[in-house]
Amino acid sequence: MAVYDLEEQEQISEIKAWWEKYGTLVTAVVLAVALSSVGWQAWNWYQRKQAGEAAVLYVTAVNAGSANDPQKVREAAGQLIEKHSGSAYAAMGALIAGKVQAESGDYKNAAILLAWVGEHGESPAIRDMARLRLAAVQLDEGSFDSALKTLEASPGEGYALAFADLKGDVLAAQGKPVEARAAYEAALAVAASSSDAQLRELLQAKMDALGASK
């Protein structure tokens, strides 16, 4: 027993000496870890709260869209862009609102919303999607040149065909059959690698129709 007592005494004094030397440092480190953990939790909590608010606005927009209430959709989407522009909900809300405005004939507001997504959407696919929708809205608005400009920058691979196809539609509506034909031909070249025979037939039909009206 006595042997151990001696050993323990020795250990205790060792620990004391160690604590004298490093005590402040250890306390500081523990404190820093604790604080940053609290900070991290708080940041998470704040983000969740923000996301929760954005989600409520977004759901409001979606529901108002199904209920065919363009104004309410626009308001919700506007708030999302204003207060939660960093959240994916801003772009998602603008996409919904863009469609609803376009459907109700308010091309101007639809174009503003979709152009915002075309610029601020978080992924290339979303930005291309928004630009394509924007061009469709501009075509219906009669702003052919803006539509062509929107379609100018080449999209990612998933949208090459759709862009060329819509370009053809714009040019055809503008009364430029030769250019439209060239656009459809470009679309057809992309479609050649696609297995969708119906799509190819459709493009072919559009081209044929142009040829006939020469």
Partner 1 sequence: MFDAVRNNRIVVQGILGLIVLTFAFFGIESYLGKGSGEKPLAEVAGQPISRAEFEQELRRHQDRLRAQLGAEADLETLNSPAVREQVLDSLINRRLLTRFAQDQHLAVPDAQLQDTIAKLPAFQEEGRFSKARYQQILASQGMTQPGFEAQMRQDLAFQQIIAAVGGGAVASLSSTSQLLGLQLEERKMRVSNFNAGDYAKGVAVSDEEIAAYYDANKARFEQAARAKAEYVIFSRDGLRATVKPEEKDVRQWYDAHQGNYGTPEERGARHILIQVAPDAKPEAVEAAKAKAESIVVQLREKDGKNFAELAKGESQDPGSAANGGDLGSFSRGMMVKPFEDAVFSLKPGEISDPVRTDFGFHVIQTTSVKPSSIKPFDEVRGQIEDELRGQAAARKFAEQAEAFSNVIYEQPDSLKPAAEQFKLEIHTTDWISKGTPAPAPFDNKRLLDAVFSADVLDNHHNSEAIDLGDARLVAARVVSHEPAKLRPMEDVRGEIVATLTHEKAAKAAASAGEAALESLKKGQNAALEFSPEQSVRRAGSSLSASALRAVFSVDSSKLPAYAGAATADGFQIFQITEVKRDEIKKDDPRVVALRKQYEQLIGERDLAVFLSGLRKTYGVEINQGELQKS
Chain positions contacting partner 1, by CB under 8 A: 47-48, 50-52, 54-56, 58-59, 62, 87-89, 91-93, 95-96, 98-99, 102, 110, 114, 122-126, 128-129, 133, 136-137, 139-140, 156, 158-159, 162, 166, 169, 172-173, 201-202, 204-206, 208-209, 211-212, 214
The phi and psi torsions of 83 (rounded to 5 degrees) equal -100, -20
Can you list the alpha helix ranges (DSSP code H) found in the chain?
2-66, 70-83, 88-103, 107-120, 124-141, 144-150, 160-173, 177-191, 197-212
Query: Based on CB atoms, which residue is closest to partner 1, 75 or 144?
Result: 144
Closest separation between CB of residue 209 and partner 1, Å?
6
Closest by CA to 65, choosing from 115, 125, 132, 110, is: 110
| Minimum distance from residue 150 beta carbon to partner 1 (Å) | 12
Distance CA 98, CA 66 (A): 13
Question: CB of residue 67 vs partner 1: minimum separation in angstroms?
Answer: 14
Comparing CB distances to partner 1, the nearer of 22 and 24 is 22
CB-based contact 177:189 (threshold 8 Å): no
**Which C-beta is closer to partner 1: that of 24 or that of 212?**
212
> Smallest distance from the beta carbon of 42 to partner 1, in angstroms?
15
Give the nearest distance from C-beta 99 to partner 1 in angstroms. Answer: 5
Q: Which is nearer to partner 1, 51 or 182 (CB)?
A: 51
* Cβ proximity of 188 and 207 under 8 Å: yes
Closer to partner 1 by CB, 75 or 174: give it: 174
Residues 93 and 80: beta-carbon distance below 8 Å:
yes
Q: What whole-number distance in Å separates Cα of residue 54 and Cα of residue 52?
A: 5
